[in-house]
Amino acid sequence: MQGWLDPLLAVLATWRVSHLVAREDGPFDIVARCRIAAGPGSLGRLMDCPYCVSLWFAVPFAAWLARDWAHGLTLWLAISGGSCILEQVSALLVARAEPAVAELPPHDKPPGEIEP
């Protein structure tokens, strides 16, 4: 693969793993158990933040794609940044998909409630 496809795949893979670790329970609740085992310390807080873990998961992809150390540093930040953008888009889509909470009109009060 050449050109833009490798960095795009790196961003997608980084987002997927970061989202899995920070937001999902994983198959058989393996990831959730790891988060619980990590506890409330630094590692546990790191695993709760998809933006934080994307920095770490981007490292091997940047190393794989880099021509030299300066290019690797740029790729590292770009891959993590792309992952963060995908996390923001994902959060917006989830927020839009959540159903709105319906409130009862004033005349449909639950039984037993007294009118003022």
- The kind and range of the H/E element at 16 are helix 5-23
Q: What is the pLDDT of residue 45?
A: 86
**Mean pLDDT, residues 18-24:** 94
Q: Which residues, other chains included, contact 17 with Cβ-Cβ below 8 Å and sequence gap of 6+?
A: 53, 57
**Mean pLDDT, residues 65-75:** 95
At 48, phi and psi to the nearest 5? Answer: -90, -5
Instruction: Note the pLDDT tens digit of each residue in 84-103.
Output: 999 999 999 998 887 777 77
**Mean pLDDT, residues 63-82:** 96
Q: What is the pLDDT of residue 1?
A: 44
Of the two residues 69 and 3, the one the predictor is more confident about is 69
Instruction: Note the pLDDT tens digit of each residue in 23-68.
Output: 999 999 999 999 899 988 888 888 889 999 999 999 999 999 999 9
Of the two residues 35 and 116, the one the predictor is more confident about is 35
Nearest-10 crossing angle of helices 69-97, 50-65: 140
